[in-house]
Structure 1
């Protein structure tokens, strides 16, 4: 029975052929990797497209890992393979707790992702003995909004809760709403992980709810908790 207002914050842009050269080279050597990691739905869809262009089927005896259940399902559907994902959580910390990523001496790992982003996953895997390559298949661009778009979100009496799906989205939101910052910070905000929850608290949000996942089901459950507490 809720009403949704959408304010896109980041645009996902697939890399052009010239920017994909490094990724394509890594994928041509896909059989040299022991582990492939997909860190988002976009990494899964665009990475799988690149893989299927170059490989009729995946090399054998590789571990395929995804950062969350939704990404795992998409990878499994697109590449017809078994996919490992965290039992709980959908961030780098959760992936790093997977048993298959503990003893990594002399292992080679390819991480499908967008340009930029967190370095924790690769840095920790290297500390555990792995050789790690980024296979970057997209970039993020901040969406520009006019005053009319922002005005809707600058009226907190119309908004009961806010959802963001990543730390980058949270940062973009804070920048866009700076003119109405004080009133916006009083609105409950739903975030996908403990890391982003901490960022939200540091940004000044007073009511931060961790959904423990960026998928729709996790976000909706968190919104239901907010609604129940408000009654």
Structure 2
């Protein structure tokens, strides 16, 4: 039995990780900030002014992530108040919470699922609801094109505002210490793009230690990416959101054993 709480890598970008880190601490874990992506805002005052001027023309505005909401909304508010204005939509309870904190009392969000497929199943995205109407997608560079492509196929007029990019961060020896000291109980994976940065961030000499560390993935697509890299103990969270990650983490036999 160890007197130290089990160490867990939190691989979200730092600005997005605070809530999950607090949940881990409250449950007796030692969160370790191990971001697989860093966020770099893209500033474009001309585009921001154009979006603000056209805002009321949109049937709704979709934010692909918490980051998109927290970066874009304050920028638009330099030019106008919002709300009032078009409804907001997102995927995932974390992003919805951010929008509520920004003053949007009504947030359109899937009740089940946390991906583009779940968003496209919403009645607001049905062909009859979007055909001939203008919608705005606020996102980072790259990412899946499924949402925009499907909405266009359904007759929507889709505008896209790219307000940030994801870049590879740098890790310090402090991040790698729990792995090297064999006290890393698990890692929480929340981005398939981020997972693909693992080989560049974990030195080759440490990789054999990593492949058997339990990994909880937020989505099957993320789990598949981790498995492709050779991680051998990958499980998908039983439910979306931070609560799903925590419940699955606490259910892992290795984690339960290590916390005794």
Instruction: Give the TM interval when normalised to the shorter protein.
Output: 0.7 to 0.9
Counterpart in the other structure of 1:67: 91
For this pair of structures, how many residues does the alignment match?
A: 227
SS class of match (1:79): coil
Higher relative contact order (CA 8 A, sep 6+): 2
Counterpart in the other structure of 1:114: 140
Counterpart in the other structure of 1:224: 250
8 A contact 2:63–2:138 mirrored in 1 = yes
Residue 158 (structure 1) shift: 1.6
1:116-155 aligned within 5 A: 116-146=142-172, 148-149=173-174, 151-152=176-177, 154-155=179-180
Out of 31, 42, 52, the residue aligned to residue 15 of structure 1 is 42
TM-score, structure 2 length as denominator? 0.78
8 A contact 1:187–1:207 mirrored in 2 = yes
- Following the alignment from structure 2 to structure 1, what is the Cα–Cα distance between the partners of residues 181 and 226? 17
8 A contact 2:249–2:255 mirrored in 1 = no
Residue 211 (structure 1) shift: 1.9
Structure 2 regions of 5+ residues with no counterpart?
1-27
Residue 162 (structure 1) shift: 0.9
- Following the alignment from structure 2 to structure 1, what is the Cα–Cα distance between the partners of residues 105 and 185? 41
- Following the alignment from structure 2 to structure 1, what is the Cα–Cα distance between the partners of residues 157 and 88? 16
Tell me the alpha carbon deviations over residues 107-159 of structure 1, each in whole angstroms, 9 at most, x when there is no partner. Answer: 2110111222221221121122111111122222221224x246425437321
Judged with a 3 Å threshold, the aligned counterparts in structure 2 of structure 1 residues 165 and 20 are, in CA distance, closer, same or farther, namely: farther
Judged with a 3 Å threshold, the aligned counterparts in structure 2 of structure 1 residues 23 and 118 are, in CA distance, closer, same or farther, namely: farther
- Following the alignment from structure 2 to structure 1, what is the Cα–Cα distance between the partners of residues 203 and 41? 30
8 A contact 2:250–2:256 mirrored in 1 = no
Out of 116, 124, 131, the residue aligned to residue 92 of structure 1 is 116
- Following the alignment from structure 1 to structure 2, what is the Cα–Cα distance between the partners of residues 210 and 178? 25
Tell me the alpha carbon deviations over residues 178-218 of structure 1, each in whole angstroms, 9 at most, x when there is no partner. Answer: 50333312211111112111212222222222125664322
Counterpart in the other structure of 2:233: 207
Question: What is the alpha-carbon root mean square deviation over aligned residues?
Answer: 2.3
- Following the alignment from structure 2 to structure 1, what is the Cα–Cα distance between the partners of residues 183 and 94? 31
Counterpart in the other structure of 1:45: 70
Judged with a 3 Å threshold, the aligned counterparts in structure 2 of structure 1 residues 20 and 153 are, in CA distance, closer, same or farther, namely: farther
TM-score, structure 1 length as denominator? 0.86
8 A contact 2:48–2:76 mirrored in 1 = no
Counterpart in the other structure of 1:105: 131
Counterpart in the other structure of 2:53: 28
